[in-house]
Structure 1
Amino acid sequence: MIIHTRRAEREDAYELFALARQYTTGRTAISKDDFIVTLDNVLKYRDQETNVLFVAYSDEKVTVRSLDGLVEKSDEPDVRNKVVGYTLMTVSRLLHASGLTAHIQEIVVDESVRGQGVGERLMQVNERYCNVRGVQQISASTARIGSFFNHIGYEPVGEHYRKVLGHG
């Protein structure tokens, strides 16, 4: 399977939502309405380069499906390559480190294509992006795929903690 990467677009919403629902963190999966708001904000503020959303896609063709109006409907169905994974990376400055830093917030590969190099390809495009921007380091937190990060040259440097806040 040949894997390509690019920045995410609104037309990816339906497939991104399906992938995001595969990302399990022990919390309730994101609702469609919350996902639409989040994706819209990530894409709207794309020029500020704080949240960087890449997708991996295969040569398989699929019809673009709308996710509640994020994609405008046309008379002709739009056919495009199938999205099989994504990464969401944040780029920022930290007070304790020189220059820009990046953190992989999410990496999701469709269950049907795991183990076929999609995750590595996504990480390569993130690393190239960071090199061009002058990012000094990339970090990632994981509870399940540490062996993947070790395989591509990352080393463990700490522990990851989380507290779910009970709002509403």
Structure 2
Amino acid sequence: MPAHHELIRPAQPEDAERVWPLVREFATSFTPERTAFDPAWQQAVVAAHTLVLVAETGDGDIIGYLLGNSHQTFFANGSVAWVEELMVERGHRRSGVGRRLMEHAEDWARSIDAAYLALASRRAGHFYLALGYEDSAVFYKNTLRSR
């Protein structure tokens, strides 16, 4: 199991090349396209209500990332935060990288006074339950464009 020497930090525009392989591995419902990823990445890393974190080794390898957003709600009396994507390279799973990315996301959500931090997961429910999250809803989607 890898040592815990990873740095969790805000993503930078120049990290795109090292994050792209993780994005390709993350996706199951869609096939990521590089021509769509590049402008989305550049926009996300500077967007006001968006959190993009990377986990970087001491050697400069990016082994994980997290994409989160916040938005206003009526029912929660203010903002809520969502983790849209959390990905850790297969060889670094179960080493605490995902947990540390989520802890940073929770700190961010608290810093913006979000009522809660939520996410949807098809493959990692056991991981989020172990972090203290609760299964609170069924997730529905209507795919509006081709995958």
Aligned: 1:13 with 2:16 = yes
State the structure with more CA Rg.
1
Partner of 1:148: 127
Counterparts of 2:144 and 2:40, CA distance in 1: 18
Distance 2:84 2:145 in 1: 21
**SS at 2:45 equivalent:** helix
Aligned residues: 143
1:99 and 2:78 correspond:
yes
Is 1:24 matched up with 2:27?
A: yes
Structure 2 counterpart of 1:130, which letter? Answer: A
Farther-moved stretch of structure 1 (113-122 vs 131-140): 131-140
What's the counterpart of residue 50 of structure 2?
51
Task: Indicate whether 1:124 and 2:124 are aligned.
Answer: no
TM normalised by structure 2 equals: 0.91
Q: Which residue of 1 aligns with 2:143?
A: 164
Aligned partner of residue 36 in structure 1, secondary structure: helix
- Find the counterpart in structure 2 of residue 67 from structure 1: none
Matches of 2:113 and 2:25, distance apart in 1: 32
**1:140 Cα deviation (Å)?**
0.6
Question: Aligned Cα RMSD in Å?
Answer: 1.3
Tell me by how many angstroms 1:131 deviates. Answer: 1.6
Query: 1:120 & 1:41 partners in 2: Cα distance?
Result: 26
Rounded Cα–Cα distance in structure 1 between residues aligned with 2:127 and 2:102: 11
2: CA distance, partners of 1:148 / 1:20: 19
Asked whether the equivalents of residues 55 and 85 of structure 1 are also in contact (C-alpha less than 8 Å), the reply is yes
1:42 to 41, 44, 54: 44
Amino acid at match of 1:150: L
- TM-score normalised to structure 1 length: 0.81
Q: Which runs of 5+ in 1 are unaligned?
A: 62-80
Q: Distance in 2 between matches of 1:3 and 1:43?
A: 20
Aligned-partner Cα distance in 2 for 1:166–1:88: 21
Corresponding position of 1:85 = 64
Instruction: State the 1:166 CA deviation.
Output: 3.2
Say if 1:120 and 1:152, in contact at 8 Å, map to a contact too: yes
Give me the whole-angstrom Cα distance separating, in 2, the residues matched to 1:90 and 1:38. Answer: 14
